[in-house]
Structure 1
Amino acid sequence: MKWPVSKTFSVLMIAATTGLSLWARPQIPEGPMGTHFDLSGAANGFMPRDTALMVMPLTLAAITLLLWVLPYMQPKSGKLERSASVYAVSWIGVVAFLGFGHLFIVGHALGWVLSAQPLLLGPGVLFILIGNFMPKAQRNYLVGVRTPWTLSDERVWHKTHRLAGPVMMLAGLIMLGGALLLPPVYLHWVFVSAGLGSALIVVVASYFYARALKLT
């Protein structure tokens, strides 16, 4: 999976969300429109209709532009081409998640009966996908576990990312299990604990890998 795939997907998603907004606008009454929902799917945040319909396409356009230009702003020593698969999967995952979020927002305003379950499963699926590609990441300044120790020693980078892959996939499985089995009230803590816990493990591991390599 290379950048052209993620760029094409991103542009298509911008077009799709914009088209959905334009198609739905005449069918949605003027007034507040739900744009933020709790974990049970109930609206708890609102925007004016036209703002709500355009905020996601504009957000996707801004994210696409940022992700498109960031690789060209890297130092020459950190070429992202060596980690294109990780970058592309992260890019596509985030854009797909936001695109489905827009579908949920518009569908809710139109009175469609849509389950929030795919949105709750999204973080876990994204962690599993990125974790699967993480061991393939090569040293760069945009994606991966970028600590002072991984960026200063390629051996530490590779050891840390070989660990980061299974750790992220385990965190994703915990998130999926929580989304499928637990009441929504507990999911915030499951997501935060799994996400921050996995990050803490690999950051601390990178430090100890660096210490161990210096002692050998």
Structure 2
Amino acid sequence: MMKDFKWRWQDTLIVILGLATLAYALINYSKLPQELPAQFGITGKVNRYWDKNIAIFVFGILGIVLPLIMQFTRSIDPKRDNYKKFENAYAMSRLAIGMLFNLMLVLSIAYGLGKDINVGKIAIGAVGIMFIALGNYMPQVKDNYLFGVRTAWTLANPEVWRKTHRLSGIMWMIGGLLIFAGAFLSGALSKLLIITALVLAIIVPILYSWMISRPLKS
């Protein structure tokens, strides 16, 4: 399994950014309230709090460990050889995921310190940017069981997988732009943009993979 693990510059950056984020949290630990934001709603308001120890541990660990674990989980994928065909896309996607968790921790700490910034809106905007980043690499992802749009139809046919991910890349980038725009608007328009983005990025690719698989079955 270890032969499938190849340390890349993205892994180095994941560790550096993750440790820097944890250091920021620990340096300010004594100044923080006992509870920190753990989740933001689509309006940008905090809708869940965690004990600060749990928040720092979870966000801090996920920012480093989750992207690195994804390097090992590929080894148990029956289609693990396909990862070699999209190494850079996979590495950049893991980096984007790690950076998002790092930012969530930074924003949570900033909120706890009483910084005069709208951390909820920034968090949603960051999710939009991640959608755009992942959408950019989505068409490069080859069929596998652990990463991408994994439906019964995409996994059963490489051509369905290819077409679905080509569309998914477009949908995720459009969705990301809508989420980013929605983050800095308010009221019903903001909610509409974000909900539309989620439909485009999640529901549309699933339905599309089903639709294009039907002629193949017949």
**What is the TM-score normalised by the length of structure 2?**
0.80
More displaced stretch, 206-215 vs 44-53: 44-53
Residue identity in the other structure for 1:83: F
* Offset of residue 51 of structure 1: 3.8
Structure 2 counterpart of 1:35 = 37
Tell me, in whole angstroms, the C-alpha distance in 2 between the residues paired with 1:171 and 1:119: 15
Question: Per-residue deviation at 1:60?
Answer: 2.6
Which letter maps to 1:94?
I
Of the three residues 138, 153, 160, the one matched with 2:157 is 153
Aligned to 1:59: 62
Unmatched 5+ stretches in structure 1? none
Which residue does 2:10 correspond to in 1? 6
Decide which structure has the larger Cα Rg and report it.
Answer: 1
Q: Distance between the aligned counterparts of 2:14 and 2:187, measured in 1?
A: 30
Listed as ranges, the matches of 1:29-108 within 5 Å are: 31-36=33-38, 37=40, 43=46, 45-76=48-79, 78-108=81-111
Q: Deviations over 1:73-102 (max 9, x none)?
A: 111565312222332232122211111111
Q: Retained in 2: the 8 A contact 1:78–1:140?
A: no
Cα distance in 2 for residues equivalent to 1:159 and 1:39: 30
2:178 to 174, 177, 188: 174
Q: TM-score, normalised by structure 1?
A: 0.81
Query: Number of residues paired by the alignment?
Result: 211
Give the residue type in structure 2 aligned to 1:88: A
> What is the alpha-carbon distance in structure 1 between the residues aligned to residue 118 and residue 175 of structure 2?
23
The answer (yes or no) to whether the contact 1:35–1:45 under 8 Å persists in 2 is yes
Tell me the SS of whatever aligns to 1:79: helix
Structure 2 residue runs without a partner (length 5+): 1-5
Distance of 1:44 and 1:51 partners within structure 2:
16
**What is the distance in 2 between the residues matched to 1:51 and 1:203?**
35
* Selected match of 1:111 from 108, 111, 114: 114
1:130 equivalent in structure 2 = 134
Percentage of matched positions with identical amino acids: 27
